[in-house]
Amino acid sequence: MFRFLLFLPVLMNFTATYSQSKKTIDSINTLYVQGLNIPQDSIVALFQQNLKDAEKISYELGMAGAHSQLSLVYAYQGKYEESTKSSIEGIKIYEKLNQLDRVADYYAEMGYSMKYRDMEKALYYMQKGKAIAEANNFENELKDIYNNYGVLKEINKELDSALFYFEKGLQIKLKLNDTIGIPYSWSNLAGVYGLQENFSKSREYFSKSLQQRLQWADSLGIAENYTQLGEVFVAEQKWRNAIPLVHKSLPISKKKQYQNLTQYNYKLLSDIYKKLKNTDSALYYFEQYAAIKDSVHGLKVQERIAALNVEFETEKKQNEILQQRAQLAEKDLEVRRKNTFIFGSLGLALILGLLGYLLYNQQKLRNRQLQKEGELKTALAKIETQNKLQEQRLRISRDLHDNIGAQLTFIISSIDNLKFGFTDISEKLGSKLSNISSFTQQTIYELRDTIWAMNKENITFEDLQARIANFIEHAKNASEKTDFSFNIEGNIDEAHVFSSVVGMNIYRIIQEAVNNALKYASADEIEVNISEKEAKYNIEITDDGIGFDQDNTELGNGLNNMKKRAREVGGTLQIKSSKKGTSVLLKVPK
C-alpha cells in the first residue's frame, strides 16, 4: 500500500510535466480502475487531472476516456449524479467522433449503473449499447455487455436468460483470454446457480473466481467474492459459517470506498445476527447500514439523475430537429433557384402557370403532411394500447407468481409436513401424498413457463433456445441413466421472432415429447434437433427406446394435446415409432 501511495504523486507530476502528450493521456485512461490499490479519492484526482490535461490540448478522445473512468469510479463510490454526468459527457464526445465501439460500451455502462434505481431505463440503455456492438461485431465490448445484460435478467428473475448471456460473455472472454474479466463471469454464473439452490455448484464457481482475483490482487472483486460465498452459507441457513466471510469483505469495501458493497455487508450481518437472536449486534449493523443507505440513495440524488437523463435525451432530439431544418432549408433554397431560372427564361406567360403549379404542390404537400400526422397519431395510439396490454400482462404474471405460486409452494410444504409429522401414516396414503406433492411441483414448473411466456410479447429463437436448454438440463438431473443432446443448425436465425403463443406451443410440444420418452420409452438416448428446410422450421425429438404400436395404442391426452398445439401454430406433427425407437417431427412455417 505504501509503495502505491509513493507512486501516485510521481504519476501526477508526470502527467503535469507532459500534459501535451496524447500518448500519456491515453495510457492513464487505460488503467484498470478495480486493480488500483490506492484510495478512491486519489483515483478521482488522477482522472480529473488527466481530463484537464486533455482539455488543454483539445484532445477530445482523451477527454472522453477520462470521463469514462470517472463515471466508473463515481459509481463505485455511490455518487450516481456525478457518474451520470460523466457518462453523458463521454457519450457526446464519442458520438461526435463516431467511435461506435466506445458509444456501445458507454450506453451499456449507463444502463448497468441504473440497475437498482430505474430498471426500465437500465434495460433501454443496455439494449441500445448491445445493438450497436452486435451490429458491428465488437467482441471486446460484447464480452462485458453480455455479462452485464445477464445481471439485469437475473434481477428481473429471468434466470434462464441470465445463464444464457453469462455463458455467451464467458465464451468470448475465454476466446480473448480476458483473465481479469473471466472471474466476473464465474461469479455471475455462481449467483444464478445459488438462486436455483444448486449450492455446491454455486460455491465451486465463487471459489474459482476468488482464487483468480487473489492472484491479480483485484481488491473489489475479492471483496465481492467473500460476500457472495457468505451469501451461499446464508441460503443454506449456515449462519455462523457466513459471518467470517462477510467480515473479510467489509474492511476491503470500506477501504476502497465501495459504498454499495459496504451497505450490503452491513445489512447482511444485521440479518444474520437477527437469525442468531443476537439483537445487540443485529441493531448495531442495521444502524450502520441505514446511515450509508441514506447517503447513497437519497431522493434528491435520484431526482437530479432523472433530470440529467431527460436533459440528455432532449438535447439529442433538439440536435436532430436542427439537422432536419437545415436540410429542409437547403432543399427550399434549391427550389427557389430553379424557380428564378424558369421565371427568367419563360417570361411572364409562364409565371401564372408556375404559380398555379406551386399552389397545387403546396396543397399536395399539406395534404401529405396531414396524412403523415394522422398516421403518427394512429401509431402512437397503437403503441399506447400495446403498452397498456403489456402492463396488464406483467400485472397478471406477478399475481400468478406471487399468489398462486406461493399457495402451491405452501401446499407442497404442508404435504411434506403431513408425511414426516405422523409416524403411523399408511404406505398407501404416503404414496398418495407423494403423488400430490409431485403433481403440485410440476404445476409450479408449468406456471413458471406460462409466466415466462406472458412476460414476452414476442419470443425469439434465442429465448426458446435458452428455455429448452434449461429444461433439458433439469431432465438430465431427473434421469441420470439417459443421455440428452440438443442441436441447432448453424443457419438458423436466432433473432427470428415468434408470437408468445406460437413460441410457448413449440416449447410445450418439445417438453411433452421429452417427458413421454422419459416415462414410457426406457430410452438410453434422447435427441432434440432443430433445422430449417423449405421455408419451414423442422423440430425433431427422437429416442432409441422400445417404441409403441400406433395402430393398437389409444392416444392419450399428451399426444392429442401435441397435435392440437401443432395445428394452432399452423404446423404439422408426424409421429413414427418402432421397436428401435420413436421420432416426433414438428414442422412450423417461417
Q: How does DSSP assign 268-335, residue by residue?
A: HHHHHHHHTT-HHHHHHHHHHHHHHHHHHS-HHHHHHHHHHHHHHHHHHHHHHHHHHHHHHHHHHHHH
**Residue 142 and residue 100 in contact, taking contact as beta carbons nearer than 8 Å:** no
pLDDT of residue 131: 93
Q: What is the dihedral of CA 435, 452, 143, 82, to 10 degrees?
A: -120
Cell triple for residue 117? Answer: 434505481
Q: What is the pLDDT of residue 406?
A: 58
Q: What is the pLDDT of residue 8?
A: 36
Instruction: Tell me the DSSP string of 518-574.
Output: IIII--SEEEEEEEEETTEEEEEEEE-S----TTTS---HHHHHHHHHHHHTT-EEE
Within a 10 A sphere around the Cβ of 386, how many other Cβ atoms? 11
In whole angstroms, what is the distance from residue 7 CA to residue 580 CA?
A: 73
- Residues 6 or more apart whose CB falls under 8 angstroms from that of 33 comprise 43, 69, 72, 73, 76
Q: For residue 584, what are the β-bridge partners? A: 541, 575
Q: Look at residue 522 in the predicted model and tell me its pLDDT.
A: 84
Q: What is the pLDDT of residue 291?
A: 83
In the DSSP assignment, the letter for residue 517 is I
Residue 248: the pLDDT is 92
Q: How close are the terminal C-alpha atoms of the chain, in Å?
A: 62
Q: Around Cβ 556, how many Cβ atoms within 10 Å?
A: 10
pLDDT of res. 301: 47
Q: Is 104 exposed, middle or buried (0-12, 13-18, 19+ CB in 10 A)?
A: buried
Q: What are phi and psi of 39, to 5 degrees?
A: -55, 150
Task: Output the CA–CA distances (angstroms, integers) from residue 549 to 467, 514, 578, in the order listed.
Answer: 32, 18, 7
Give residue 549's pLDDT. 79
Contacts of 174 (CB under 8 A, 6+ apart): 182
Which sign does the torsion angle of CA 457, 460, 466, 470 carry?
A: positive
Write out pLDDT tens, residues 185-233: 998 898 889 888 888 888 898 889 889 888 878 888 898 889 989 989 9
Which parts of the chain have pLDDT scores under 70? 1-20, 32-37, 294-326, 329, 332, 344, 381, 383-410, 412-414, 416-428, 431-432, 434-435, 437-439, 441-442, 445-446, 448-450, 452-456, 478, 553-556
For the purposes of burial, counting CB atoms within 10 Å of the CB of 371, is it exposed (0-12), middle (13-18) or buried (19 or more)? exposed
Q: How far apart are CA 103 and CA 254, in angstroms?
A: 32
User: How far apart (Å, rounded) are the C-alpha atoms in residues 232 and 242?
Assistant: 8
Cα distances from 483 to residues 471, 480, 488, 522, 572, in angstroms, run: 14, 8, 17, 12, 27
pLDDT value for 364: 82
The set of residues, in sequence order, having a beta carbon less than 8 Å from that of 107 and lying 6+ positions away, is: 91, 125, 126, 128, 129, 132
pLDDT of 19 reads: 45
Number of H helices and number of E strands within the chain?
22, 7
Between strands 483-488 and 525-533, the pairing is parallel
Task: Enter the C-alpha cell of residue 556.
Answer: 392419450
Q: Please list, in sequence order, all residues whose beta carbon lies within 8 angstroms of the beta carbon of residue 188, skipping any fewer than 6 positions away.
A: 147, 150, 151, 154, 162, 166
Q: Are strands 536-543 and 497-499 parallel, antiparallel or unpaired?
A: unpaired
Gyration radius from the chain CA atoms: 31
Q: What pLDDT does 490 receive?
A: 80
| Adjacent-strand bridge partners of 460 | 497
395: left (phi over 0), alpha (psi -120 to 50) or beta: alpha
C-alpha 409: how far from chain center: 28
Task: Centre a 10 Å sphere on the Cβ of residue 276 and count the other Cβ atoms it contains.
Answer: 13
Residue of 53, 169, 2, 82 lying closest to 161 (CA atoms): 169
